[in-house]
Amino acid sequence: MTEPPAVTRAGAWVGGRAVSAPEAVRQAAGLLGRSRAAVVAGLGTDIAGARASVALAQAIGAAIDHMDADAALANLDVMRRAGWIVTTPLQARTRADAVLLVGPGLPAAWPDMVVRLALHDPPALVPDAARKLFHLGPGTDGPLAGAIAIEAPAERLLVPLAVLRALAAGRPTSLDSTAAAPLQNLAAALAQARFGVAVWAAGALDTLAVETLCGLIDDLNRTTRFAGLPLPAANNAEGVMQASAWATGFPFRTGFAGAVPVHDPWRFDARRMVASGEADAALWISAFAPTPPPWGDDVPTVALVAPGTEFRTPPAVLLEVGHPGIDHDSMLFNAALGGISFAAAASPRPTARVADTVAAIMAALQSC
C-alpha cells in the first residue's frame, strides 16, 4: 500500500482559520464524505489531478464539471453529433496553403499561435506553395494583420459561415451580389486550397457556428483537402476531458451516483447544481489561476486553489496547490503539440500537487 502523500507544506485554512494541512484534509474528507450529492468542479488541473479527482468523484458518488466546460463542450457537441475532419498544429504549420481564421479570441486562446503555426511563412513541407491567410471575424488589427479580412461581428458569425458554405457548394444565398462578393471570393479561394485549415478558439463560436464551419470543411473535401483546427479551451480542459473519457467513457458534466455514469451537460453543470440547491457539497479546483468558484457560501466548499485566490466568503476548507508545469512536473494538454505531453517544472517549488491533495482526501475518507 502506498502512503498518502504528504501535503504538509501547503497553506491550509478551515473556515478562514489557518490550520495544518492534515487538519484541512481531514475536514475536507469529512465534508465530502458526508455529502450525498457533491460536485467536483473547476477541475483546473493536470492529468494526474484529473485522474485523482475523477476517482474521488466515483468514490463518493459525486458529479464532475470543468470551469471551461461550456467552451470545450461547444466543440465536442458538434463532433459527437455530426463528426468532423480535423488536423494538428504541426500539420497546419507545415502543409496548409490556406488558413482560415474564424471568429474572435484566437490570440487570447493561444498567444503563440502566429509563431507556432508560422502563419506568415510558406508551408515547409509543400514545395513552392505560398500560404494565404484569411480572417472571418471581428477586428482586423493586432497579430492577425496581414490576413485577408472579412469583417463579421463576433455574435453573428453563423450568418456569414452559412453563406460561405452555400457559396462554396454552389448554392444560391439570400445576400445580394455586392454583399456576397467578399464571401464569394473567400469561397473560391478555399476551394482552390490544396490543404486548407480552418482555425477557431473553443467557446468563441457557438455550436451552430461550429457545426456550419465543420459542414463547410466536409463539403470542401469532396474536391480538395481541408481540415479544422479547434484550439483547446483554457485550464487544461482538453487534457481533463481526455482523462475523464478514458476513465469513465464520458467528458465532464457526468454524475457517478448510480450504477453507471450518467453524462448530462445541463444536469451536471456545477453552477446549476449549486444554484438549484441540488449540490450539498463542492470540491473546487483551480491550480492554474487564482480563480474562486462562481458561488459564494451557497454550498459548503472545499477549495484547492492557487495561492492568492480571493474569496467573497472564506470556503469551508481551503488548501493551496502548486501551478502544474511551473511549480512541479506535470502532464498537460499542449496546444502547440496537439496532444498531452510532459511539462517539466519551470521553477520547481515545494508545493502540493492537486493529485496528492485529492489522494490524501480520498485516503482520509476511509477514516471518516
Partner 1 sequence: MLMRLAGGRIVDPAHGRDAVGDLWVQDGRVVAPPPAGAPADATHDVTGCIVMAGGIDIHSHIAGTNVNAARLLLPELRAGDAVASVPVTQTIGRLYAAMGFTTVVEPAISPHVATQAHLELADIPIIDTAILAVLGNDDFLLRLLERNEGKAAVADYAARVLGGSRAIGIKAINPGAAAAFKSNVRRFGLDDAVPGSAITSRAIINTLQAATETLGLAHPLHLHCSNLGMPGNAETALATMDAAGGARLHLAHLQFYAYGTEGKRGFSSAAPLLAEAVNARRNITADIGQVMFGQTVTVSSDVLRQFNARGQAHPRKSVILDGDGNGGGIVPYRYRRTDFYNAVQWAAGLELFLLIDDPWRVFFTTDHPNGAPFTAYPDLLALLMDRSLRAQHIETLPKDAMEVSTLAAITREYTIGEIAIMTRAAPARLLGLADRGHLGPGARADIAVYRPQADRAAMFRNAELVLKDGVPVMRAGQPVARPAGRGLAVRPGFDAAINRSLAAFYESTYGVAPTAFDVPAAETVGRAAPFETVPCRT
Residue 189 within binding range of partner 1, rule CB under 8 A: no
Which residue in 38, 28, 40 sits closest to 280, CA to CA? 38
Q: How far apart are CA 275 and CA 271, in angstroms?
A: 6
Look up residue 303 and give its amino acid.
A
> For partner 1, which is the closer residue by CB, 81 or 349?
81
From candidates 4, 11, 59, 116, binder to partner 1 by CB under 8 A = 116
The reply to whether 20 sits near partner 1 by the rule CB under 8 A is no
**Nearest by Cα to 4 from 74, 57, 52, 42:** 52
Q: Cβ of residue 182: shortest distance to partner 1, in angstroms? A: 26
Smallest gap from residue 167 Cβ to partner 1 (A): 21
Nearer of residues 289 and 336 to partner 1, judged by Cβ: 336
2 or 178, CB closer to partner 1?
Answer: 2
- Looking at 182-190, 237-245, 275-283, 308-316, which segment touches partner 1 (CB under 8 A)? 237-245
Q: Using the rule CB under 8 A, which residue among 25, 233, 241, 305 binds partner 1?
A: 241
Does the protein bind partner 1 through residue 47 (CB under 8 A)?
A: yes
Question: Cα–Cα distance between 71 and 226 in angstroms, integer?
Answer: 23
Residue 118 in the binding site for partner 1 (CB under 8 A): yes
SS3 297: coil
> At which residue does the C-alpha cell 451580389 appear?
177
- The yes or no reply on residue 194 touching partner 1 (CB under 8 A) is yes
Closest contact distance (angstroms) between CB of 231 and partner 1 is 16
Q: How many CB atoms lie within 10 A of CB 215?
A: 18
**Within a 13 Å sphere around the CA of 187, how many CA atoms are in the beta-carbon half?**
21
Minimum distance of partner 1 from residue 179's CB (angstroms): 32
Nearest CB to partner 1, comparing residues 246 and 266: 246
How far from 167 is each of 10, 21, 127, 274, CA to CA, in Å? 58, 62, 30, 46
Tell me how far apart the alpha carbons of residues 362 and 368 are, in angstroms, rounded to a whole number: 10
- 227 is a site residue for partner 1 (CB under 8 A): yes
Comparing C-alpha atoms, which of 254, 253, 264, 119 is closest to residue 199?
Answer: 119
| 13 phi/psi in degrees, rounded to 5 | -140, 145
Contact 231, 110 (CB under 8 A): yes
Using the minimum distance from each CB to partner 1, give the nearer residue, 238 or 320: 238
Residue 304: phi and psi, rounded to 5, are -110, 100
304 strand-pairing partners: 285, 319
User: Is 314 a binder of partner 1 (CB under 8 A)?
Assistant: no
Tell me how far apart the terminal alpha carbons of the chain are, to the nearest angstrom.
19
Binding mask 252-281 for partner 1 (x = CB under 8 A): --------xx-x------------------
Amino acid at 158: L
Tell me, residue by residue from 77 to 96, as one string, x for binding to partner 1 by CB under 8 A and - for no binding.
--xxxxxxxxxx-xx-xxx-
Select 127 or 172, whichever has its Cβ closest to partner 1: 127
CB of 99 to partner 1, least distance (A): 14
Cβ–Cβ < 8 Å for 131, 93:
no
**Contact flag: residue 338 with partner 1 (CB under 8 A):** yes
Question: What does the binding site for partner 1 look like in residue numbers (CB under 8 A)?
Answer: 47-48, 51, 76, 79-88, 90-91, 93-95, 115-116, 118, 124-125, 127, 194-195, 221, 224-225, 227, 241-243, 245-251, 260-261, 263, 329, 331, 334, 336-342
